[in-house]
Every structure is written in C-alpha cells, then in structure tokens.
Amino acid sequence: TQLLEQSPQFLSIQEGENLTVYCNSSSVFSSLQWYRQEPGEGPVLLVTVVTGGEVKKLKRLTFQFGDARKDSSLHITAAQPGDTGLYLCAGDKGGSYIPTFGRGTSLIVHP
Amino acid sequence: DTGVSQNPRHKITKRGQNVTFRCDPISEHNRLYWYRQTLGQGPEFLTYFQNEAQLEKSRLLSDRFSAERPKGSFSTLEIQRTEQGDSAMYLCASSLAAGRGDEAFFGQGTRLTVV
C-alpha cells in the first residue's frame, strides 16, 4: 500500500489544455513536496507546501495543500510540451524527515 | 555547480560482480538519502544519514547492500554479488535539516544494468 496515491497515473493531452493531478493520503504530513522528473534524470524540486490550505504558484503551475494536510493538487494552465515529465509528490514519514514518494503521474503534452 | 553530484552516471556489470556508487551532496547539507527507482515507480527509500550516522535503513536494503558516509561528507553505496533484480536507477539526495519543510535535492542518478 502506497503512503501517497497519485492520480491519474498517465495523462496525454494537447498543448494549451489545462490539467490537474492529485496526491492523496490518509496520513497527515508536516510538509509535502512536488517534483518533476525527466527520463534518465533525477527529480527536480518544484515546490514545498507546509500550511494547510496553502496555495503556491510557479508561473503556470498552481499547487494546493489540503486543509487537513493529507492531500495536494497540482494544476497546470495552458500546458506546453516542455511540461512533459513525471510529476511526483513526496511527504515526510513520521517524525524524522524521510521523503516518501508516490508513484507519480506521467504527463505527455503533444504539440 | 553546487548541486548533488553522482558518479558514475551509468554502470553495466555482470551478475555476481560488486559495484560502488558515489554521491557528493550539497555542501553544508547534513542529511543524505539513497533511493532506488525502477520503471513506472516513484523513488523507493533505501537509507539515510544525518552527518556520518546512518539513522535508518529500509527493508529493501538487503545484506548485499552497504552504505557509508565517512566524515559526514560524500557517501558511497556498494552492492555485492549483483543480481539482475538490482537493475535500477540509484538516486542520492541531500537536505539541510531545519524542521518542517526541509527539502531534499536530488542528483542525476546512477543507472545500473546487471547483465
């Protein structure tokens, strides 16, 4: 059983479309990170959310942390081919900080 | 460049051989993590260090795996008697422990192929 469930697992869209991906858990997290990973490379940190209800924006990407700090979403507006990649969420597991990852959402944006 | 550095980037080895990977974390980061990632999965935690102390090991880390972080700087991950199931991307990350919201930064990974 995954501590963090990400959905959808795969997403294939056309350039210009909007999309939302989700990261859900039954556990409460003190913080949650979103990463983007390209094939053959390590994950690159996009954002950290720490406060319930927090919304952070990074250009066309909007990240939200649930009020109860159990879930998070990532919304991309007007997707571009450069957004293609594996989007991973990670949260700490218990008291000591060990980032635990979901399986990710694989996004393909077609030109 | 002061990011996390991993070497080698790629390693092909024959089954039964030993391999060693190196990770140089971001300087002043006191936490260092090793993860393994296979196709279609997120990174799976293997072990982590705070300074030179290895504080936690996953059950995924069989006795063929050993990790060290002498002097709390770079780290090495050794796999003895490699098996085909060890083929994966091995990722290293580092963070500066600072309470809530401390963030892990990853290296580019070492891709291991066991033939």
Contact B42 A103 (CB under 8 A): yes
A60 DSSP β-pair partners: none
CB contacts of B3 in chain A (<8 Å) are none
Amino acid (1-letter code) at residue B63? D
Contact B101 A50 (CB under 8 A): yes
Q: Is the pLDDT of residue A38 over 70?
A: yes
| Smallest Cα distance from A111 to chain B, Å | 24
Nearest to B106 among A30, A43, A102 (CB): A43
Ramachandran angles phi, psi of A67, nearest 5°: -55, -40
Q: Is the pLDDT of residue A81 over 80?
A: yes
CB B48 within 8 A of CB B91: no
CB B26 within 8 A of CB B38: no
pLDDT band at A43 (very low <50, low <70, confident <90, very high): very high
CB B6 within 8 A of CB B22: yes
CB contacts of B106 in chain A (<8 Å) are 35, 42-45
- Comparing CA positions, the residue from B32, B78, B81 lying closest to residue B56 is B32
Contact A88 B43 (CB under 8 A): yes
- Comparing CA positions, the residue from A19, A31, A26 lying closest to residue A97 is A31
Tokens read off for A70: 């159990």
pLDDT tens column, B44-101: 999 999 999 999 899 888 899 999 999 889 999 999 999 999 999 999 999 987 655 5
Tokens read off for B56: 């936690």
